[in-house]
């Protein structure tokens, strides 16, 4: 599946200018950068000589960063603790120009922090600091209030579920029902253990491991891929399922029974961190700009091909997307 040059240019030019909410688990992605030239005498592990460090908003905040990069206005909604990591996230988001009015501070939990040590462009180890606990009913009501206050302007809602406690068994049905009543496109980047909760969403974007786990069948061929995709679609009563397949590309399953297989366009793969965030953000941004589901899949496939070629959590931009299309399809010149 592809798009014509004229249509591709129109989609890219039309991206941006829309309000898209991102609801989910916020976290701080920390990076320690360095090199390895010896093994520790204390244990059979590499010794990393740290030469630099950096931080970026992760999880749902990275989805919002991708939305912003494509020219849309993200409404970011989630939880942080009352700690230094929360202050860093707030500063980083404001520096990017992402509004923080939907971020709720919960002093009963720490801000989720993922620390990655990277040497020679390879991730050596990751350390997580987090508490996985459902948000309280009071905070759940505050989340819904933020959504309701912005409903009239929203062109889409992205649920970014990392299983840290924001997307609960009670909040998700409220979000889905709200979107159905207001005819708002709702897309979910799922946590595999929460699949039964995602009924009637507009789009769900599992990777092939998550999809196979949720359906109870490993995806080992195109035949099993089709069985899992169509089975999940029927089970969840969803509008569409986009299964990401790594080096094998993507597969879009629509409620009308059509299946579209798209090969990857990635020219190099250094790091898949955050690639799922880019996929769902670019898909919803494209739909908000008037793209069909198939066209949005092509857009998101191109966007993913860009970010996996960078080390660390990366976000897409319209310029990078336009260049990717130019290289692959001759679009956007």
Let me know if residue 212 belongs to a domain: yes
- Residue 310 is predicted with a pLDDT of 61
- Residue 317 is predicted with a pLDDT of 87
Residue 190 and residue 194: Cα distance in Å, rounded? 7
Query: What is the domain count for the chain?
Result: 1
- Residue 274 is predicted with a pLDDT of 58
**Does 134 qualify as catalytic in the annotation?**
no
- Residue 273 is predicted with a pLDDT of 53
Q: In what order do the strands lie in the sheet with 26-39?
A: 46-59, 26-39, 112-119, 122-129
* CA neighbor of 289 nearest in space, from 199, 106, 153, 155: 155
pTM of the predicted protein model: 0.91
Let me know if residue 123 belongs to a domain: no
Residue 78 and residue 182: Cα distance in Å, rounded? 21
Question: What 8-state DSSP symbol labels residue 207?
Answer: B
User: The domain that contains 278 carries what CATH number?
Assistant: 3.40.1190.20
Let me know if residue 310 belongs to a domain: yes
Instruction: Give the domain extent around 241.
Output: 5-25+59-80+133-329
Let me know if residue 99 belongs to a domain: no
| Structure confidence by residue, pLDDT tens digits, 276-317 | 899 999 999 999 999 999 999 999 988 888 877 565 556 788
- Residue 1 is predicted with a pLDDT of 60
Let me know if residue 92 belongs to a domain: no
Residues of the chain with pLDDT under 70: 1-2, 5, 266-274, 309-314, 329-333
| Structure confidence by residue, pLDDT tens digits, 157-192 | 999 999 999 999 999 999 999 999 999 999 999 987
From the candidates 37, 161, 277, 319, give the one annotated as an active-site residue: 277
Let me know if residue 45 belongs to a domain: no
The angle formed by the CA atoms of residues 75, 276 and 304, to the nearest 5 degrees, is 105
| Structure confidence by residue, pLDDT tens digits, 79-89 | 999 999 999 99
């Amino acid at each position: 599946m592809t798009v014509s040059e004229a249509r591709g240019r129109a989609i890219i030019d039309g991206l941006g200018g829309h309000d898209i909410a991102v609801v989910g688990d916020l976290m701080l992605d920390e990076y320690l950068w360095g090199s390895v030239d010896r093994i520790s005498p204390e244990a059979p592990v590499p010794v990393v000589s740290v030469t630099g460090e950096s931080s970026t908003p992760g999880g749902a905040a990275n989805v919002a960063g991708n939305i912003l990069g494509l020219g849309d206005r993200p409404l970011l909604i989630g939880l942080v603790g009352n700690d230094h990591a929360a202050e860093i996230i707030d500063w980083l988001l404001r520096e990017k120009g992402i509004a923080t009015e939907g971020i709720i501070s919960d002093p009963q939990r720490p801000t989720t922090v993922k620390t990655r040590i990277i040497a020679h462009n390879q991730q050596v180890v990751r350390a997580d600091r987090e508490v996985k606990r459902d948000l309280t009913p009071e905070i759940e009501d505050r989340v819904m209030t933020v959504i309701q206050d912005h409903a009239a302007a929203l062109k889409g809602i992205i649920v970014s579920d990392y299983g840290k406690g924001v997307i609960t068994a009670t909040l998700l049905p409220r979000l889905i029902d709200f979107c159905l009543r207001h005819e708002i496109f709702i897309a979910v980047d799922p946590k595999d253990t929460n699949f039964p909760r995602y009924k009637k969403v507009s789009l769900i974007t599992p990777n092939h491991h998550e999809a196979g786990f949720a359906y109870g069948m490993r995806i080992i061929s195109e035949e099993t891929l089709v069985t899992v995709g169509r089975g999940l679609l029927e089970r969840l009563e969803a509008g569409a399922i986009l299964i990401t397949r790594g080096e094998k590309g993507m597969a879009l399953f629509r409620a009308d029974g059509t299946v579209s297989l798209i090969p990857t366009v990635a020219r190099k793969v250094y790091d898949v961190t955050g690639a799922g965030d880019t996929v769902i953000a670019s898909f919803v941004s494209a739909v908000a700009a008037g793209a069909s589901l198939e066209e949005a899949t092509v857009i998101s496939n191109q966007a993913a091909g860009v970010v996996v070629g960078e080390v660390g959590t990366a976000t897409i931009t319209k310029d990078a997307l336009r260049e990717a299309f130019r290289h692959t399809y001759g679009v956007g010149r």
